A and B are shown apart, each in its own frame.
Chain A
């Protein structure tokens, strides 16, 4: 097996003017207005094309795309349960591998994609994901992170950011709301020493699609953590969805990076960051936060960004090699 770096030599970037016309996820579905998650999913599917088998965990994207007798899927799609998308994908991928080897089905390049929300990934599905990453199945796992259990009605997850209001982390006299810091799921995936890990945002769609395509070229497990705005759960305007997805990157709250064979690489350095308050104030879920709370969040975001720069071998003020989309 050649290295991921060598496999990426075949990689050709998407350009905004020449995006694929195929829509493996059909336009008809039942997502809320302004759903950032379904936009991200559409971009994922456009990047992968039609030779893909999708395993979906229970969650918003499963509900909105598969209510029988309708289906928004133009590619083979399987849903089994909430916490097991990675295990189910392990079975599908292994079945293909052995059936091709035994000559039962024709050999062709098929991509195996598992998708789940942050609950199905960072909480209940973490064990199943960890097992599949450790075993080295050749599949892509995409976490569409809308930062709470949105499908059941906005309950907190371990991916909910500090200070956010959810129905199970309500702010009150004795609570700020979510009182733990967002779990760093991409770093957990990277700690499995898999060939490819990346973060992405639908506001930077070419970057997102390039990362998905890279993930499909690399043999072995790939993990993508995609920031997915949820106007319903975040109490923001549907038309601010993409703006939110852009601001989260511009404020350094959710930096875009890749980890290729253990080498951390920033996709876009935010040299002049916008204040986190600009991002927080677009969303009602943060409206109870005081200036002091926001200052605390700002300090932690700054610190984490510094740590990320160090991991990428960069320091503040220096130029980043490469630009977004490469």
Chain B
């Protein structure tokens, strides 16, 4: 039976990995991911989880080890953050191209320089086009649930792609929340044992990761692109099944108070909860403001997103990473691209907020919702603002 307990989110994530009966864990410490692998090492040391815990010498080797493990047919997990994800990045491109269903928790954190251990989405954005399926948790329960969802999606023979579960570092990973921890029997009913479609087996030799000559590279990439797009219905199906089993229904795009809204705040991750409080406050004053939160980041949920913002006048898109490209944040550029073909496009102002753990308050969200309307009224060309900058 499921048990609702007060637990640190990192530890809950480790418990989800244990319930998935993972075979191989590659572990390298990096703040604020450390509590996840620390707890897993305890579970393995105490015999509560029968897995190979490999304390590798770098994140680059963590992802490399995961590739070897998944290619051999084992259920595989690792976790990282920030610079660690940056160091892994070379191999992060290879895992999905080899169709290796690894699951990775990323405790989101800013990237150097200046060095900072605090939360934003710089690392998430650095890895966005590597070909991994990516989900983003808003709270501890979601982080726990998304890990189980990730294994189910990654290992589905219609998918066979790695999955990143993003969770905000510290603001989520180090918070103690009441979380419903599912039982082993319940998880076993939702998550079938991993059976590799193809694995390194001397009884049936295969060559994995061959040279792609110019005659085949393009075709290989097209196949990979199609595989990522084809994962979308399976991702939705796995959420639907999750709801049927455990009563918590998840969608790629979450909406809050969007009925009749003229202005929508767009967020990803844990600031969505603060944004909800801001929406409540503004609605109580009669402002027509709502919230749209992305839970699925890759593949980008075009259909659901366009549906969620249909008919609204203004979007205040809140990025937690600065795209150093002169065009603002990566989330906003993505959303502008998604809306390009729409006949009626909302006016967009992009806000870059909460870099490296800087607080994003209810007042900030109110300021942003008001700001986008004011900018539109002044006929300003759609642009971006970094908020809370001391100047």
Q: Is B206 an interface residue (CB 8 A)?
A: yes
- Do the beta carbons of A91 and B64 come within 8 Å of each other? yes
**Chain B residue with the shortest CB-CB distance to A134:** B57
Interface residues of B in 184-221 (CB under 8 A from A): 193, 200-202, 205-213, 216
CB-defined contacts of A53 to chain B, threshold 8 Å: 72, 200, 202
Q: In the bound complex, what is the Cα–Cα distance between A110 and B155 (angstroms)? A: 25
Q: Is B60 an interface residue (CB 8 A)?
A: yes
Stretch of A82-90, A167-175, A235-243 on the interface side: A82-90
- Do the beta carbons of A92 and B68 come within 8 Å of each other? yes
- Do the beta carbons of B68 and A66 come within 8 Å of each other? no
Q: Taking the nearest CB of chain B, how far is it from the CB of A112, in angstroms?
A: 9
Q: Taking the nearest CB of chain A, how far is it from the CB of B235, in angstroms?
A: 26
CB-defined contacts of B91 to chain A, threshold 8 Å: 80-81, 84
**Chain A residue with the shortest CB-CB distance to B21:** A102
- Do the beta carbons of A78 and B52 come within 8 Å of each other? no
Q: Is B181 an interface residue (CB 8 A)?
A: no
Q: In the bound complex, what is the Cα–Cα distance between A101 and B49 (angstroms)? A: 13
Q: In the bound complex, what is the Cα–Cα distance between A97 and B71 (angstroms)? A: 14
- Do the beta carbons of B71 and A78 come within 8 Å of each other? yes
- Do the beta carbons of A99 and B23 come within 8 Å of each other? yes
- Do the beta carbons of A96 and B72 come within 8 Å of each other? yes
CB-defined contacts of B206 to chain A, threshold 8 Å: 76-77
Q: Is A312 an interface residue (CB 8 A)?
A: no
**Chain B residue with the shortest CB-CB distance to A114:** B68
- Do the beta carbons of A71 and B207 come within 8 Å of each other? yes
- Do the beta carbons of A98 and B26 come within 8 Å of each other? no
CB-defined contacts of B125 to chain A, threshold 8 Å: none
Q: In the bound complex, what is the Cα–Cα distance between A71 and B54 (angstroms)? A: 31
Q: Is A105 an interface residue (CB 8 A)?
A: yes
Q: Is A130 an interface residue (CB 8 A)?
A: yes
Of A81, A108, A134, which is within 8 A of B94 by CB? Answer: A81
**How many Cβ-Cβ contacts under 8 Å join chain A to chain B?**
158
CB-defined contacts of B58 to chain A, threshold 8 Å: 127-128, 131
Q: In the bound complex, what is the Cα–Cα distance between A62 and B205 (angstroms)? A: 16
A68-B213 contact in complex given A73-B207, A90-B68, A131-B58, C-beta closer than 8 Å = yes
CB-defined contacts of B321 to chain A, threshold 8 Å: none
Q: In the bound complex, what is the Cα–Cα distance between A134 and B55 (angstroms)? A: 10
Q: Taking the nearest CB of chain A, how far is it from the CB of B78, in angstroms?
A: 10
Of B72, B73, B74, B90, which is within 8 A of A81 by CB? Answer: B90
A64-78 interface code vs B (CB 8 A; 1 in, 0 out) = 001111010111111
Of A50, A87, A105, which is within 8 A of B68 by CB? Answer: A87
Of A68, A81, A89, which is within 8 A of B210 by CB? Answer: A68
Of B54, B208, B212, which is within 8 A of A91 by CB? Answer: B54
CB-defined contacts of B26 to chain A, threshold 8 Å: 91
Interface residues of B in 25-50 (CB under 8 A from A): 26, 50
- Do the beta carbons of B57 and A80 come within 8 Å of each other? no
Q: Is A271 an interface residue (CB 8 A)?
A: no
- Do the beta carbons of B73 and A95 come within 8 Å of each other? yes
Q: Is B98 an interface residue (CB 8 A)?
A: yes
**Chain B residue with the shortest CB-CB distance to A53:** B200
CB-defined contacts of B72 to chain A, threshold 8 Å: 53, 91-92, 95-96, 99
- Do the beta carbons of A76 and B51 come within 8 Å of each other? no
Q: How many B residues have CB within 8 A of the partner chain?
A: 43
Q: Is A315 an interface residue (CB 8 A)?
A: no
A68-B200 contact in complex given A75-B205, A87-B64, A135-B54, C-beta closer than 8 Å = no
**Chain A residue with the shortest CB-CB distance to B194:** A104
CB-defined contacts of B201 to chain A, threshold 8 Å: 76, 105
CB-defined contacts of B90 to chain A, threshold 8 Å: 81
CB-defined contacts of B193 to chain A, threshold 8 Å: 104
A102-137 interface code vs B (CB 8 A; 1 in, 0 out) = 101100101000000000000000011011101100
CB-defined contacts of B70 to chain A, threshold 8 Å: 91, 95
Q: In the bound complex, what is the Cα–Cα distance between A51 and B205 (angstroms)? A: 10
Q: Taking the nearest CB of chain A, how far is it from the CB of B154, in angstroms?
A: 16
- Do the beta carbons of A87 and B216 come within 8 Å of each other? no
- Do the beta carbons of A66 and B211 come within 8 Å of each other? yes
A66-B207 contact in complex given A52-B202, A90-B54, C-beta closer than 8 Å = yes
Q: Is A79 an interface residue (CB 8 A)?
A: yes
CB-defined contacts of B67 to chain A, threshold 8 Å: 78, 80, 88, 91
CB-defined contacts of B202 to chain A, threshold 8 Å: 50-53, 75-76, 108, 110
Q: In the bound complex, what is the Cα–Cα distance between A97 and B69 (angstroms)? A: 10
CB-defined contacts of B210 to chain A, threshold 8 Å: 66-68, 71, 79
Q: Is B65 an interface residue (CB 8 A)?
A: yes
A189-222 interface code vs B (CB 8 A; 1 in, 0 out) = 0000000000000000000000000000000000
Q: In the bound complex, what is the Cα–Cα distance between A96 and B66 (angstroms)? A: 13
Q: Is B130 an interface residue (CB 8 A)?
A: no
CB-defined contacts of A50 to chain B, threshold 8 Å: 202
Q: In the bound complex, what is the Cα–Cα distance between A98 and B44 (angstroms)? A: 12
- Do the beta carbons of A90 and B65 come within 8 Å of each other? yes
CB-defined contacts of A95 to chain B, threshold 8 Å: 23-24, 52, 68-70, 72-74, 76
Q: Is A63 an interface residue (CB 8 A)?
A: yes
**Chain B residue with the shortest CB-CB distance to A110:** B202
Q: Taking the nearest CB of chain A, how far is it from the CB of B38, in angstroms?
A: 18
Q: Is B56 an interface residue (CB 8 A)?
A: yes
- Do the beta carbons of A68 and B216 come within 8 Å of each other? yes
- Do the beta carbons of A94 and B64 come within 8 Å of each other? no
Q: In the bound complex, what is the Cα–Cα distance between A236 and B21 (angstroms)? A: 56
**Chain A residue with the shortest CB-CB distance to B207:** A71
- Do the beta carbons of A91 and B69 come within 8 Å of each other? yes
Q: Is A55 an interface residue (CB 8 A)?
A: yes
- Do the beta carbons of B50 and A91 come within 8 Å of each other? no
Q: In the bound complex, what is the Cα–Cα distance between A95 and B72 (angstroms)? A: 6
Q: Is B61 an interface residue (CB 8 A)?
A: yes
Q: In the bound complex, what is the Cα–Cα distance between A97 and B68 (angstroms)? A: 13
CB-defined contacts of B76 to chain A, threshold 8 Å: 91, 95
Q: Taking the nearest CB of chain A, how far is it from the CB of B20, in angstroms?
A: 13
B224-251 interface code vs A (CB 8 A; 1 in, 0 out) = 0000000000000000000000000000
User: Given A80-B209, A98-B23, A99-B72, list of 20 further CB < 8 A pairs?
Assistant: A71-B207, A76-B206, A78-B209, A80-B98, A84-B91, A87-B56, A87-B60, A90-B54, A91-B64, A91-B65, A91-B72, A92-B72, A94-B54, A95-B68, A97-B52, A105-B201, A110-B202, A127-B58, A128-B57, A128-B61
- 11 A/B residue pairs, CB under 8 Å, sorted by A: A63-B211, A67-B213, A68-B213, A80-B64, A84-B61, A91-B66, A92-B68, A95-B52, A98-B24, A104-B73, A135-B56
